[in-house]
Amino acid sequence: MKALITSLLLIQAVLGMSQPLPAPGTGTQNLHSKPDSLSYTIIPVNSNQYGYDIFVNGRLRIHQPTIPGQPGNTGFKNKADAKKVALVVMDKISKGIMPPTITQEELKNLGIVIK
């Protein structure tokens, strides 16, 4: 059985059917084409909270009314924080990184305080 699996993997590699794996710890691949244009809009959500919309080639692609990666429905406390994250997401999209996830560490590095 082990020999059969090894043989199948070898055949797949020889035929060029395998796709490259992401770098360890990244969880993403640059398999999507880069967009021609990117833009964002800061949106009001709930009471005195903000989110953002990301547009790719003029079409709404990401509607993010809450702080990404956080439980609940809490938006950003101010427009500046929403803008910081929207710009990071757009940078990832421009590099072909999909999905353009935001980590806890990135939020911390951007100075966004989560309570």
Q: Please tell me the least confidently modeled range out of 1-10, 33-42, 104-113.
A: 1-10
Per the prediction, the chain carries an average pLDDT of: 79
Q: What is the reported pLDDT for 18?
A: 37
Q: What is the reported pLDDT for 46?
A: 85
**Apex 47 CA angle, 76 and 86, nearest 5:** 25
CA-based Rg of the chain, rounded to a whole angstrom? 19
Q: What is the reported pLDDT for 47?
A: 86
Convert the pLDDT of each residue in 16-69 to its tens digit.
Answer: 333 344 444 444 444 456 678 999 999 999 889 999 999 999 999 999 999 998
- How far CA 50 is from CA of 81, 107, 113, in Å, comes to 9, 15, 14
- CA distance linking residue 82 with residue 114, whole number of Å: 13
- CA distance linking residue 42 with residue 47, whole number of Å: 14
